[in-house]
Amino acid sequence: MKIVTICGAGIGSSGILKVNAERVLQRLDIEADVVAADIGSVRAVAEDAQVILTSAEFVDAIGPTFADVIVIVNHFDQQELAEKLERALG
Amino acid sequence: MTLPPIPDDAIVLGATASTWQEAVRTAGSALVRSGAARPGYSDAMVRMIDEHGPYVVIAPGLALAHARPDDQVLATGLAVVTLATPVEFGHPHNDPVRVVLGLAVDSVGGHLESIADLANVFNDTSVIVVLADAASPDEVRSLMGVSSL
């Protein structure tokens, strides 16, 4: 499974989401590749992704996708990440 | 520990800013003073938010200002700015902001270890409130587990 984290520059917030998503997935015993990307390359990077994690600001810019788009409010809150990931993957 | 050192020059405590632009530029100036960035990096950080919205406010009270690695970045560096009065970035959930981190990275590939360390610090989100009231650069460094050089 592939999960893509998206932000404006592909550094910073998408990196935080990647790192914390990997920690949560490990705890949930779910195997996935988590890739951080900038909004400009979302189409190419997320083509084969099942889940896109991002901030509310980027939802419209992501455009049509087969992936579940999950909006994260507090990027450091592993409980929020865990609940939203479980809902999307369960 | 892979977070870059945070010298005194990169820390501004109790800064006054009446707009988010001023708050972000204060972090940019701190990155310039500490040798991590050129002055144009402040403009680039403000432009990121103008372009994409207040997504850099990634947790309640905390903004992680940054721009792309480009010729305005001289070295990977982190700046910490605490605000005397909280500033609105326009974020629907995480406003108002009391702590602005300024992040400059010299390459996209090399920054994930630092980011993981940043996550280690802030996964305990109560740190943000304590950091906002830090009284000295040493207290900031101790909360974040970094050195001064």
For residue range B13-48, what is the model confidence (pLDDT) as tens digits? Answer: 999 999 999 999 999 999 999 999 999 999 999 999
pLDDT over 90 at B51, yes or no: yes
Position A51: which residue type? Answer: V
So what's the ipTM on this one? 0.92
Average pLDDT over residues A76-88: 95
Kindly report the nearest CA distance between residue B139 and chain A, in angstroms: 21
Protein fold of B8-143:
Mannitol-specific EII; Chain A (3.40.930)
Residue in chain A lying closest to B118 (CA)? A16
Mean pLDDT value across residues B105-122 = 85
- In-domain check, residue A63: yes
Q: Is A6 exposed, middle or buried (0-12, 13-18, 19+ CB in 10 A)?
A: buried
Question: A84 touching B, CB under 8 A?
Answer: no
Q: Are A53 and A16 in contact (CB under 8 A)?
A: no
User: Does the residue A31 lie in any domain?
Assistant: yes
pTM, two decimal places: 0.95
* Residue A59 to chain B, least CA–CA distance (Å): 11
pLDDT value of residue B45: 97
Give catalytic residues of B, as residue numbers: 66
Write out pLDDT tens, residues B81-110. 999 999 999 999 999 999 999 999 988 776
- Structure-block tokens of residue B36: 């991590």
Using a CB-CB cut-off of 8 Å, the residues of chain B touching A11 are 66, 68-69, 103, 105, 108, 111, 115
Residue in chain B nearest A76 by alpha carbon: B123
Give the number of domains in chain A.
1
What average pLDDT is seen over chain A? 94
Q: Chain B 5-64, CB below 8 Å of chain A: which residues?
A: 48, 51-56, 58-60, 64
- Does residue A28 form part of some domain? yes
A2 pLDDT above the threshold of 80: yes
Domain that holds residue A13: 2-77
Query: What percent of chain B has pLDDT above 90?
Result: 85
